[in-house]
Structure 1
Amino acid sequence: MTLEPRTLLGYARARRNAAQGLALGMGWVLLLNPSIAKATATFDCLIEPAQTVEVGFPAAGVLERVLVKRGDRIARDQVLASLDSRTEQAATDLARFKSQLAGPAQLARSKIEFSQRKFARRHDMAAEKLMSAQDSDDAEAELKQAQAELVVAKENREVARLEYIQQASQLSLRTLRSPFEGVVVDQMMWPGEIFEPGATKHAVLKLAQLNPLRVRVVMPLQDFGQPSLAKTMTVTPEIQPAKHYTAKISSIDRIIDAASGTFVVFLDLPNPKLDTPSGVKCKASL
C-alpha cells in the first residue's frame, strides 16, 4: 500500500511531537529528582593493588632457598626465602652460649663468701691484739676484690647477652619475610645465585597487596567538591560487568590536572577472598 505525501507528512509530524513530549517529560523528572541525573554519571577508573613492592635482603650472600613461587598467596611475616647463613648461625650459637655462662659469677660469689669469713676472723683477732692490723686490712682488701670480681662477672654476662642479641639480629637479616598479606607477582632470583644489595638484581621477589584493592577514579573538574572522604562509590570491573562492588573514598587529589581538566579520587575496595580482579579498567559511579 502506498501512502500519499500528505499522509506521510502527518505521520512524521506526529512522531516528532511524541518525541518532544517524551523529552519534556524526562526533563521534568530530572529537574524534580536531580539525584537520578547524578546516579547515571559514570567515570573511568582502574582497579590496582594497594601496593606492589620488590623485596630482597639487606645483606649479601648466596641464595639458599626460595619457599614460594609465582601466584602463591602469602601471609604477613611468612618466610619467603633465605640466604646461606651457616657462619652467622655458628656465631649466634657461640654468643648465646657465652650469654648463659654462670661459672664466673658463681666463682666470684664463692670467693666473696670465703673472704667474708676470713675477714671476720682476722678482724676479731686484730681487735683482741692477737693479729696485726695489717693482716686484718689484707683480708678486707681480698673481700672487696672478690666483690668487684662479681660485678665484673655480671657485666661480662650482660655484654655477652647484648652480643647475642646483635648476632641474632644479623642472622635474621638473612631471612626474607613478607611485609603484608598478598600474592607473589614474580620471582627474579633462584637458589644458588649471589645476592648483593644495590646490584643489578636487587630483589628476589615481587609482591602485591590485594586486600584492600585501590581504585583510581578519574573525574572531570566540574565534579570537584562532589565526592568527599568516607563516601562510597559503586565499581563495576570491565571483565565482570554483571558484578558491582562498593568501595569507600580514601583520598582525593586537591590539585587539578590543567592539561586534561581532571582530578583523581582513590577508593579502597575490600578484597578478603582475593577474588576481585586487579589491573583492569572499570566504571565507577557515585
Structure 2
Amino acid sequence: MTLLPRNVLGTARARKGARRHLFGVAIFGLLTSSSTALAAAESYDCLIEPMQTVELGMPASGLIDKVMVKRGDRIARNQVLASLDSHAEQAATDLAHYKSQLAGPAQLAQSKIEFSQRKFGRRRDMADEKLMSRQDSDDAEAELKQAQAELVEAKENREVARLEYVQQSSQLSLRTIRSPFDGVVVDQMMWAGEIFEPGATRHAVLKLAQLDPLRVRVVMPMRAFGEPVNGMSATVTPEILSSKAYTAKITSVDRIIDAASGTFVVFMDLPNPKLDIPSGVKCKAALNK
C-alpha cells in the first residue's frame, strides 16, 4: 500500500469538497429556476377595460341647443350633458304648472256650499213650521248638493292639471341628456345647431365610459378551471405601468370553456378612484391564493 503525502491528501479532499459545493449550487439554481417558472406560469394574460361604455342620445327629435361637455371631460352621475331646443315644451310645462296651482274654482265652490247650507237650513225650518212650501226646501237642498258636486269637480280638475304638469315635465326631460354614472366623455358625435333624429345614421350625441371601477378580463387555460372563485383577490400589473401592481377582485367566472382555444374568461373589478390606471391596455394577473 502506497502512502500519499499529507499535502497531496488534503488537496484531493479540497477538490472533492469543491465538487460537492458546485453540485449543491447547481441543484439550488435548478430549484430556483423551477420556482420562478412556476410563478411565471401562474400569471395570466388580461386586458383592462372600462366597466361600461355607452352612447347617449334622446328619444325626441329637434335642434341641439347646447352640449355642455367635450371629449376628455370628467362627468358626474345625473349631470346635464346636452339638451335640445325646448322653448315650446317649456312654455307648455309652465302653463300646466300654473293650472295645477289654481285654487279659485275650489274656493268658489266652497263659498257656494256655505251659502247653500245656510239657505237650505232656513227654508227647511220654515217648511217645518208651514211657512214655506216643501218644494222651496227641496230646491234649496238641490242647490246645496250641486255646490258640493262643484267642489268635487274643482278638486278633480286641479288633480288633472297636476298630472298634466307631471306629464309635460316628463316630456321636457326627454329633451335633455344626463349622465347615468360617474365617468369621462370618450367622444362627441354631434354639436349645437345640428338636427338630432332618433334612429338616424348618427343616433348618439355623446359616448361615455365608466372608469371607476375598471373591468379586468382575464383569459385562463382550461387546466386552471376551478381555481378562481367569486370574491378572490388577484394582483394586476398593467403593461405600461409594470413597476406598479394593483389589487382586483373576481366578480364573475365563465362556466363554459371555449372548445376551440381551451380557455375561459374571468372578470375582475379594479378600483380606480383617481383614474390613474389607464383602460384599454394589456396586463398580467396572478391569483392571490
TM-score by length of 2: 0.88
Q: CA deviation at 1:175?
A: 1.1
Quick one: distance in 1 between partners of 2:170 and 2:101?
18
Pair 1:260 & 2:266 matched: no
**1:1-286 map, 5 Å:** 21-22=27-28, 25-26=31-32, 37=38, 41-286=42-287
CA distance in 2 between counterparts of 1:21 and 1:69 reads: 61
Identity rate, percent: 74
Number of corresponding residues: 268
Shift in Å, 1:81: 0.4
Deviations 1:20-74 (A, max 9, x none): 53466559x96xxxx9945762111000000000001111111000000000000
Task: Report Cα offsets for 1:124-183 as digits up to 9, x if no partner.
Answer: 111111111111111111111001100000000000000000001111111110000000
Distance 1:272 1:177 in 2: 21
SS across alignment from 2:242: coil
- Is the 1:99–1:161 contact (alpha carbons within 8 Å) kept by the matching residues of 2? yes
Query: 8 Å contact 1:40–1:285 — kept in the other structure?
Result: no
Gapped runs of 5+ residues in structure 1?
Answer: 1-13
Query: Distance between the aligned counterparts of 1:243 and 1:21, measured in 2?
Result: 32
User: Is the alpha carbon distance of 1:52 and 1:225 closer, same or farther for their aligned partners in structure 2, counting shifts above 3 Å?
Assistant: same
Quick one: distance in 1 between partners of 2:147 and 2:197? 50
Which stretches in structure 2 are left out of the alignment for 5+ residues? 1-18
Distance in 2 (alpha carbons) for counterparts of 1:37 and 1:139? 101
AA in 2 matched with 1:21 = I
User: Quick one: which amino acid aligns to residue 27 of structure 2?
Assistant: G
**Matches of 2:150 and 2:123, distance apart in 1:** 22
C-alpha distance in structure 2 between counterparts of 1:204 and 1:53, whole Å: 11
Separation (CA, whole Å) in 2 of partners of 1:153 and 1:276? 61
Stretches (4+) displaced over 4 A: 14-20, 23-27
Distance 1:266 1:89, change over 3 A: same
